[in-house]
């Protein structure tokens, strides 16, 4: 979910992920592949 628009030009977004952590995303030309974090065995 986009939590906040930090800047319009160039765009910067604060994103809250399903697991609760947050990232700052600054889209640029090209493509992005978002993959889930790999599970570790304890």
Whether 4 is in a domain gets the answer: yes
Which bin fits 14, alpha (ψ -120 to 50), beta or left (φ > 0)?
beta
Q: Which domain holds residue 16?
A: 1-27
Alpha-carbon span 25 to 19, nearest angstrom: 17
What pTM, to 2 d.p., does this model score? 0.51
Whether 1 is in a domain gets the answer: yes
Residues paired with residue 2 on neighbouring β-strands, in sequence order: 15
pLDDT of residue 38: 77
Whether 19 is in a domain gets the answer: yes
pLDDT of residue 42: 67
Tens-binned pLDDT, residue by residue, of the chain (42 aa): 666 677 777 788 888 888 888 888 887 777 777 777 777 776
Structurally, the chain folds into a number of domains equal to 1
Rg (CA), the chain: 13
Residues paired with residue 22 on neighbouring β-strands, in sequence order: 16
Q: Are strands 12-16 and 2-7 parallel, antiparallel or unpaired?
A: antiparallel
Whether 33 is in a domain gets the answer: no
């Amino acid at each position: 979910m986009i939590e906040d628009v930090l800047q319009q030009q160039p765009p910067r977004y604060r994103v809250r992920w399903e697991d609760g952590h947050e990232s700052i995303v600054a889209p640029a030309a090209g493509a992005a592949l978002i993959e889930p974090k790999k599970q570790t065995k304890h």
